[in-house]
Chain A
Amino acid sequence: MLAKRIIPCLDVKDGRTVKGVNFVNLKDAGDPVELGCMYSDAGADELVYLDITATHQGRETFTEVVKRIAAGISIPFTVGGGIGSVQDVERMLSAGADKVSVNSAAIRRPELISEIAGAFGQQVCVVAIDARMIDGNWKCHLNGGRLATDIDLFDWAVQAADMGAGEILFTSMDHDGVHGGYANEALARLHDIVPVPVIASGGAGRMEHFRDAFLLGKADAALAAGVFHFGEIDVKELKRYLCGQGIPVRIN
């Protein structure tokens, strides 16, 4: 049976992982490769690395980091942050990334999705969507959530899949950082209308939240950052818990 996936997300700035990562057993928790290896060893199914660097020079550093990740890690990984063109995607894939995620650039120019899918295959293109509820409707946001649009989450997700998105990564800005659980109702609706896998993001605080994202939200994968980085939830323990809840997960 196809396993539900657990995906730690790491932010990288100027070649270093950020967010208060506190692992005593790591020599260098700021090293994206060492941290990624630790998650991989613990049983993470995939990794997402987001480049949050703003400068051109930092971007080049990120490409070098991607090369090191590809050499060091034996599970699939996605890279995102600042991907705006087929050339950007090509640079990331030739550095060794398995998939790329696009966000604002795809909303501004949806053809980007079909260009990426056409050049490299549908499975390469993850469309990330940041949305929050405004007056009862889920609205997409740009620029890391700073800029609201009038675009409906569900309309955009369907269009993105239609244009060749291989997966939809939906982050609920209302739930992100609150640690109260994922946006399960919206996730379930996405699952029902989108013909590609949906990755839940935003809201994980306890292991039960992952269970609910899979059972209630019908998500194919669940992504989290803080709860893993701060050691509040251990990936290995989480997998055992989900297995005990009857959810198909990879435990090797």
Chain B
Amino acid sequence: MKVAIIKYNGGNISSVMHALDRLGAEYVLTDDRTLLENADKVIFPGVGEAAATMSHLREKGLDEVIRRLTRPVLGICLGQQLMCSSSEEGDTDCLGIFDVPVKRFQPSALLEKVPHMGWNEITECRGSLFSGIGDNPYVYFVHSYYVPVCPWTAAVTGYIQPFSSALHKDNFYATQFHPEKSGPVGAAILSNFLKL
């Protein structure tokens, strides 16, 4: 089993690597086209700004590489958002794997603080990523932009309004939350991904 983590200018990729270490998985951190195309699993992590990250991916030719991957791909946080059609963050076109635009949270009251940060429930979970994790578990979120509920929604979370906390289409999987920071539940989700 060979896992490739997409290397780009985003931050905090080390927490994904630590989580894989704890699961005993082997991985490479790379932006090499051949390594990514030949990996059994690809993880597209993300902490950063959408427009800047997209132009970095385009410069490296990684946008095309990611779109054409045929093995299971997991986008995390910004990774999920960049797999959508566009983002209001920096008003950029994204990879377009999921044909849905990413929007900024519009809080309507002081109670609704942005970023959405902390532990929240994932509901209506579907797909093998979520097998054996129990009903509506809590996972860890940090984000100011969200993916609306759409035909590819694989989990829903309510904050300000219901949004897609996970997406799935063909070999592409994505989570808005950070499984690598979500305790045992997050570890189980990552482990499910590695078993796909």
Residues on A lying within 8 angstroms of B by beta carbon are 1-3, 5, 40, 45, 70-72, 74-76, 93-94, 96, 98, 120-123, 166-167, 192, 195-197, 220-221, 250-252
Residue of B nearest to A5 (CB): B118
Pairwise interchain contact B184-A2, C-beta atoms closer than 8 A = no
Q: Name which of A71, A74, A93, A196 has the most chain B CB atoms within 10 A of its CB.
A: A74
B interface residues, tally (CB under 8 Å): 33
A120 vs B11: C-alpha distance when bound (angstroms): 9
Pairwise interchain contact B183-A75, C-beta atoms closer than 8 A = yes
Is B140 an interface residue when CB atoms closer than 8 A count as contact?
yes
- Set of chain B residues within 8 Å of A251, measured between Cβ atoms: 138
Pairwise interchain contact A250-B184, C-beta atoms closer than 8 A = no
- Set of chain B residues within 8 Å of A192, measured between Cβ atoms: 110
Residue of B nearest to A69 (CB): B18
- Set of chain B residues within 8 Å of A94, measured between Cβ atoms: 14
Pairwise interchain contact B115-A252, C-beta atoms closer than 8 A = no
If the complex has contacts A2-B120, A166-B117, are A76 and B159 also in contact, measured as CB distance less than 8 A? no
Instruction: Find B187's partner among A1, A74, A123 (CB 8 Å cutoff).
Output: A74
Instruction: Find A74's partner among B14, B22, B121, B137 (CB 8 Å cutoff).
Output: B22
Instruction: Find B18's partner among A70, A120, A121, A197 (CB 8 Å cutoff).
Output: A70
Pairwise interchain contact B113-A96, C-beta atoms closer than 8 A = no
Q: List 26 A-B contacts (CB under 8 A).
A: A1-B158, A2-B118, A3-B118, A45-B119, A71-B22, A74-B181, A74-B182, A75-B140, A75-B182, A76-B140, A76-B181, A93-B11, A96-B18, A98-B181, A121-B47, A122-B115, A123-B117, A167-B117, A195-B110, A196-B113, A197-B113, A197-B117, A197-B118, A252-B137, A252-B138, A252-B183
State the main secondary structure of chain B at its contact with A: mixed
Apart from A1-B158, A72-B22, A197-B117: 7 A-B pairs, beta carbons within 8 A = A5-B119, A70-B15, A71-B21, A74-B181, A93-B11, A166-B117, A220-B118
- Set of chain B residues within 8 Å of A196, measured between Cβ atoms: 113
If the complex has contacts A1-B158, A2-B159, A123-B142, are A74 and B183 also in contact, measured as CB distance less than 8 A? yes
- Set of chain B residues within 8 Å of A70, measured between Cβ atoms: 14-15, 18
Pairwise interchain contact A40-B183, C-beta atoms closer than 8 A = yes
Pairwise interchain contact B19-A74, C-beta atoms closer than 8 A = yes
Q: How far is the CB of A121 from chain B (nearest CB, A)?
A: 7
Pairwise interchain contact A166-B18, C-beta atoms closer than 8 A = no
Q: How far is the CB of B51 from chain A (nearest CB, A)?
A: 15
If the complex has contacts A123-B142, A252-B137, A252-B185, are A74 and B118 also in contact, measured as CB distance less than 8 A? no
Instruction: Find A123's partner among B22, B115, B159 (CB 8 Å cutoff).
Output: B115
If the complex has contacts A3-B138, A76-B181, are A45 and B15 also in contact, measured as CB distance less than 8 A? no
Is B45 an interface residue when CB atoms closer than 8 A count as contact?
no
Q: Per-residue 0/1 for B108-141: is the Cβ within 8 Å of any A Cβ (1 yes, 0 no)?
A: 0010010111111100000000000010011010
If the complex has contacts A123-B142, A195-B110, A252-B134, are A166 and B115 also in contact, measured as CB distance less than 8 A? yes
Pairwise interchain contact B15-A96, C-beta atoms closer than 8 A = yes
Q: How far is the CB of A38 from chain B (nearest CB, A)?
A: 13
Residue of B nearest to A218 (CB): B111
- Set of chain A residues within 8 Å of B137, measured between Cβ atoms: 252
Is B186 an interface residue when CB atoms closer than 8 A count as contact?
yes
Q: How far is the CB of B81 from chain A (nearest CB, A)?
A: 14
Q: Which of B155-187 contact A (CB under 8 A)?
A: 158-159, 180-187
Is B12 an interface residue when CB atoms closer than 8 A count as contact?
yes
A31 vs B12: C-alpha distance when bound (angstroms): 24
Q: How far is the CB of B120 from chain A (nearest CB, A)?
A: 5
The 8 residue pairs across chains A and B that have the minimum distance between CB atoms: A250-B138, A3-B119, A250-B119, A71-B18, A123-B142, A2-B120, A76-B181, A252-B137
Pairwise interchain contact B121-A1, C-beta atoms closer than 8 A = yes
Q: Which of B22-45 contact A (CB under 8 A)?
A: 22
A235 vs B133: C-alpha distance when bound (angstroms): 22
Residue of A nearest to B114 (CB): A195
- Set of chain B residues within 8 Å of A74, measured between Cβ atoms: 19, 22, 180-184, 186-187
Q: How far is the CB of A197 from chain B (nearest CB, A)?
A: 6
